[in-house]
Amino acid sequence: MEIYIRTIKTNINTIGSKVLACRTKHGSAQAYDLSNPHTLALHKLYRIERTTPRQKGYELLKNPRLNKGLAFSLKERHHLGIHGLLPPAFMTIQQQVYRVMKRIREQPDNLSKYIILDELQNRCERLFYRVLSENVKELMPIVYTPTVGLACQKFGSIFRRPKGVYITINDNSISKIYQILSNWPERNAIVVTDGERILGLGDLGANGMGIPIGKLALYVALAGVQPSWCLPVLIDAGTNNQKNLEDPLYIGIRRKRVRGEEYDQLIDNFMKAVSKRFGRGTLVQFEDFAFQNAYRLLDKYREDYCVFNDDIQGTAAVIVAGLIASTRITKKPLHEQKFLFHGAGADMNEMNNLMEIVKAVKPNGIIGVSTQGGAFTPEIIKEMSKNNERPIIFALSNPTIKAECTAKDAIEHSNGTVLFASGSPFDDVEFNGKHFQPGQGNNSYIFPGIGLSLVLWKARKVPEIVFLIAARTCAKMVSDKALHTYGRLYPRVENIRELSVQIAIDEMYVRHHVYSLDYYELINKAYRWPEQDSKPGYPVPKMSGQTTTEDE
């Protein structure tokens, strides 16, 4: 791991120029100059080899990992036994993307769009990720925050096909959990939740499975992590949400949430079973655990397993990234500034009047993680503007209704001087003839690249410096135009896939292992043998005692 960190430090300043020289649209390695013998050798070493699938006919069309719909060529249709099972038209993947997006944009609400994308993932996995990657700004709020929160609330109603594993308090042993994990083939990256603190919505129990599914979809779309590496896990220890317990469509066990020693034993058995089944280097990302569990579980396992908590470490890294970017405008180093955090921290006594605190502390920035919608009132925003030439206001709570203030309010009440970021997306704002593009301080800038690097480097644990490096890399990718013209503190969301590769560092190796968004030929390329080695009909001698027609 120390070598890994030194490698990151050594390459972090030079990777940008290398990426610019080798950039491709979808993460493919084909843009490299393969006339260079060294590059060609690396290309052959790192490329992922394809094999003709064993499944044929209708069964192949039911496999979302192999299905290409109307993009199958005539040769593939004949060879794979699907000719006549599809309409006779032949489409490119671009046509398919157009058709999907057209249908999505015709939907009346975001939940309907979520359901269409869910159906597409169940039917044609590669097309799903192509659609998501090419329209990431439009669709990321659908597959993740804020729409995923609504999807989790209605998960029992929209549930169609299992996409992960459910481990309950009734399976509380290493052996039983191992058997469950053995039922699922994917294994390199696990996102696990117990559903107790889903976004800002509270205890949703087993309905929280939408969070690991959405997170891992972003791993693939934003970092190119192979879908076959990913496993969503829901730890069902019950729920204290009475509405769920009385819902006839609730998909979890109907009992109050288990706590204490029995709960701790369940998590411990899960971690040991993961290590036994997949190896200690398997990445486990804790997601949306309650505060009382999130910190202590991270502290308990971080030295012995490859684990991190995105709510804690990912959120911290994305905040630091935005603050580092802001110094290019304020011209003040971070150590000379004061930042006030408004949230559920445990280090201070409760203080109820935020306005009085702002007046007393006079912070350079306020950072909201409280899930209290509207907590940053117009008066607080104006007070921040009075104390700072360029006040920093981060309203990071999700979903949108839980945000401490809107982008429009922050910009208008600061007279356009605010450096603003939010957790959920806000529309662009026009103010005093200037066009503002509010930055989204979304963990998606951080966790996909970190996950990709940890999986590819087979790390045994996750050092804190990785998150600082990711934050610095993210801040460096913000252009001067974004900062000074649009007031945006984060890169364009369309660039997250490139950012993830930079975070993962070893460019050639990474680019050959990121998930390709292009279809590939399912049939192995035919090749010829020398004629003398493939010629049939070698003469055989007549065996003794063998009769001929003449003998008869």
Q: Where do runs of H (alpha helix) occur along 182-260? A: 210-223, 242-245
To the question of whether residue 427 is assigned a binding role by annotation, the answer is no
Given the structure tokens 């920035």, which residue do they identify?
365
Please pick, among 4, 129, 144, 445, the residue that the annotation labels catalytic.
Answer: 144
Strand runs labelled E in 153-241: 165-168, 189-193, 230-236
The annotation status of 287 as a binding-site residue, yes or no, is yes
Is 490 among the catalytic positions?
no
Asked if residue 398 belongs to a known ligand binding site, the reply is yes
The residues that bridge with 339 in the sheet, in sequence order, are: 365
Q: How far apart are the first and last CA of the chain?
A: 81
What is the 3 state secondary structure string of 159-188?
A: CCCCCCEEEEHHHCCHHHHHHHHCCCCCCC
User: Are 197 and 266 within 8 A, CB to CB?
Assistant: no
Question: Residue 393 phi/psi, 5° resolution?
Answer: -130, 115
Closest CA to 369 of 394, 406, 337: 394
442 is in an annotated binding site: yes
144 classed as catalytic: yes
Determine contact, residues 234/166, Cβ cutoff 8 Å: yes
Q: DSSP label at 465?
A: H
Tokens of 323: 């603050």
Q: Tokens representing 266?
A: 């369940």
33 marked as binding residue: no
Amino acid at 175: S
Fill in the DSSP letter of residue 363: -
Active-site choice (163, 215, 402, 476):
215
> How many CB atoms are located within 10 Å of the residue 433 CB?
6
What's the rounded Cα separation, in Å, for the pair 238 and 257?
A: 4
For 289, the token pair is 């655990």
Residue 393 bridge partners (DSSP): 366, 420
Please tell me whether 498 is known to bind a ligand: no
Known binding positions for a divalent metal cation: 287-288, 311
Known binding positions: 197, 287-288, 311, 398, 442
Active site residues: 144, 215
